[in-house]
Chains A and B, each alone.
Chain A
Amino acid sequence: MENKLKETVYHPTHADVKVFALGNMYRDLLLSRFLGRQLFVRDTLATFRQSLLGLFWAFIPPFFTASVWIFLTLFNLVKVNNTVENYPVFVLCGTIMFQTFFEALKAPTEAVMNGRSMMSKLKFPREAFLISAFYRMLFNFLARFVALVLLLVVFSNSFSWNSLLFIPAALALILCGFSIGVLLIPFQMLYEDFGRFLAIASQVVMYITPVVYPMPESGRLYHFMLWNPITPLITVTRDLLTGQYPTMWPQFTAIMLCSLLILWIGWAMYRITMPIIIERIGS
Chain B
Amino acid sequence: MKDDILIKCDKVSKKFCKDFKRSLWYGFKDVCSSFTRGNPNPERLRKDEFWALKDISFELRRGECLGLIGHNGAGKSTLLKMLTGLIKPDEGSITMRGRIGTMIELGAGFNPILTGRENIYNNGAVLGFSKEEIDDKFQQIVAFSEIGEFIDSPVQNYSSGMKVRLGFAVAAQMEPDVLLVDEVLAVGDLGFVIKCLNRMGELIPNTATIFVSHSMPMISRICSQVLLMDKGKTLFHSNDIAEGIAKYINMFESPQRINQGSGEIELASIAIHDPRTGRMVQDDSAVLTTYDDLDMEVTVKIAPSVGTFHLFLTTFDAQLREVMSSGSNINGAAFVNNGTEVRKFQIKIPHQVLATAKYSITFGATNPDTKAFYCRVTNSIYFTMKAGAATWACSVIPGEWKEQN
Q: Are A and B co-members of a single complex? A: yes
The verdict on A38 contacting chain B, using a C-beta distance below 8 Å, is yes
The verdict on B205 contacting chain A, using a C-beta distance below 8 Å, is no
Contact B27 A279 (CB under 8 A): yes
Contact B24 A190 (CB under 8 A): yes
Contact B97 A14 (CB under 8 A): no
Contact B31 A34 (CB under 8 A): no
The verdict on B99 contacting chain A, using a C-beta distance below 8 Å, is yes
Contact B85 A123 (CB under 8 A): yes
Inter-chain CA distance A281–B21, complex, in Å, is 11
Contact B177 A38 (CB under 8 A): no
Q: A35-B125, A122-B102, A124-B126 are in contact. Are A10 and B31 (CB under 8 A)?
A: no
Partner among A38, A45, A122 whose Cβ is within 8 Å of the Cβ of B105? A122
Partner among A9, A50, A277 whose Cβ is within 8 Å of the Cβ of B31? A277
Partner among B4, B87, B102, B108 whose Cβ is within 8 Å of the Cβ of A275? B87
Q: What are 19 contact pairs spanning A and B, CB under 8 A?
A: A3-B3, A8-B95, A8-B96, A9-B93, A10-B82, A10-B85, A10-B96, A14-B34, A14-B37, A35-B125, A49-B113, A120-B81, A122-B86, A273-B30, A275-B85, A275-B87, A276-B31, A278-B81, A278-B86
Per-position binary interface string of chain A over residues 264-283, scored 1 when its CB falls under 8 Å from any chain B CB and 0 otherwise:
00000100110111111110
The verdict on A13 contacting chain B, using a C-beta distance below 8 Å, is yes
The verdict on B84 contacting chain A, using a C-beta distance below 8 Å, is yes
Which residues, 76 to 96 on B, are CB-close (under 8 Å) to A? 81-82, 84-96
Q: Which residues of A sit under 8 angstroms from B105, Cβ to Cβ?
A: 118, 121-122
Contact A121 B35 (CB under 8 A): no
Inter-chain CA distance A49–B92, complex, in Å, is 49
Q: Which residues of B sit under 8 angstroms from A27, Cβ to Cβ?
A: none
Contact B89 A11 (CB under 8 A): yes
Q: Which residues of A sit under 8 angstroms from B42, Cβ to Cβ?
A: 12
Number of A residues with CB within 8 Å of any CB on chain B: 45
Q: Which residues of B sit under 8 angstroms from A14, Cβ to Cβ?
A: 33-34, 37-39
Tell me what chain A mostly uses at the interface: helix, strand, loop, or mixed: helix
The verdict on A196 contacting chain B, using a C-beta distance below 8 Å, is no
Partner among B16, B94, B99 whose Cβ is within 8 Å of the Cβ of A11? B94
Contact A10 B28 (CB under 8 A): no
Contact A6 B99 (CB under 8 A): yes
Which 6 A-B residue pairings sit nearest by Cβ, starting from the closest? A14-B38, A280-B27, A38-B125, A5-B98, A11-B93, A10-B94
Tell me what chain B mostly uses at the interface: helix, strand, loop, or mixed: mixed
Q: Which residues of B sit under 8 angstroms from A282, Cβ to Cβ?
A: 81, 86-87
Inter-chain CA distance A39–B177, complex, in Å, is 27
Hey, which bits of chain A sit against chain B, CB under 8 A?
2-3, 5-15, 34-35, 38-39, 42-43, 45-46, 49-50, 118-124, 186-187, 190-191, 269, 272-273, 275-282
Inter-chain CA distance A42–B4, complex, in Å, is 40
Number of B residues with CB within 8 Å of any CB on chain A: 55
Q: Which residues of B sit under 8 angstroms from A38, Cβ to Cβ?
A: 109, 121-122, 125
From B127-135, B256-264, B326-334, B397-405, give the one contacting chain A. B127-135
Contact B95 A9 (CB under 8 A): yes
Residue among A35, A273, A281 with most chain B CB within 10 A:
A35
Inter-chain CA distance A278–B98, complex, in Å, is 24
Inter-chain CA distance A249–B89, complex, in Å, is 48
The verdict on B66 contacting chain A, using a C-beta distance below 8 Å, is no
Q: Which residues of B sit under 8 angstroms from A9, Cβ to Cβ?
A: 93-96
Residue among A34, A45, A272 with most chain B CB within 10 A:
A34
Q: Which residues of B sit under 8 angstroms from A281, Cβ to Cβ?
A: 24, 27
Residue of A nearest to B28 (CB): A190
Inter-chain CA distance A269–B84, complex, in Å, is 20
Per-position binary interface string of chain B over residues 56-88, scored 1 when its CB falls under 8 Å from any chain A CB and 0 otherwise:
000000000000000000000000011011111
The verdict on B389 contacting chain A, using a C-beta distance below 8 Å, is no
Contact A45 B114 (CB under 8 A): yes
Q: Which residues of A sit under 8 angstroms from B23, Cβ to Cβ?
A: 280
Q: Which residues of B sit under 8 angstroms from A43, Cβ to Cβ?
A: 111
- Nearest-neighbour CB distance to chain B for A270, whole angstroms, equals 10
- Nearest-neighbour CB distance to chain A for B86, whole angstroms, equals 6
Contact A122 B24 (CB under 8 A): no
Residue of B nearest to A279 (CB): B87
Residue of B nearest to A36 (CB): B125
Q: Which residues of A sit under 8 angstroms from B177, Cβ to Cβ?
A: 5
Inter-chain CA distance A39–B97, complex, in Å, is 28
- Nearest-neighbour CB distance to chain B for A189, whole angstroms, equals 9
Q: A11-B88, A34-B130 are in contact. Are A187 and B31 (CB under 8 A)?
A: yes
